Amino acid sequence: MPDLHIELDMPAPVAAELGLTSTNAAGEVRRMLALFLYEHGRISLGRACEIGGFSHWDFAEMNRELMIPLHYGAQDLADDLARLCNA
């Protein structure tokens, strides 16, 4: 299945306020989306790291800084093991 491409228009002053530039916007938005989806229980820890381009250690540190509790249950473990076995 091909990757999904999403375009987002954002007013320049808002982007500047968020520290987004044409060179870092795509990566920053991916990381923000991964953090948000993980925080709200929509994706597993492993999937959040994959989407955001985080190592597990960096993701744990980012969650700590943002006071997002880490939740890693049996399904997270199963998802991670399945990804490792298919890699």
Residue 3 is given by DSSP the state P
In this prediction the pTM is 0.74
Which two tokens mark 16?
A: 């500047």
Asked if 37 contacts 50 with a C-beta cutoff of 8 angstroms, the reply is: no
For the chain, the domains span 12-86
Instruction: Give pLDDT tens digits for 42-77.
Output: 998 889 999 999 998 899 899 899 999 887 778 878
Which two tokens mark 35?
A: 């953090």
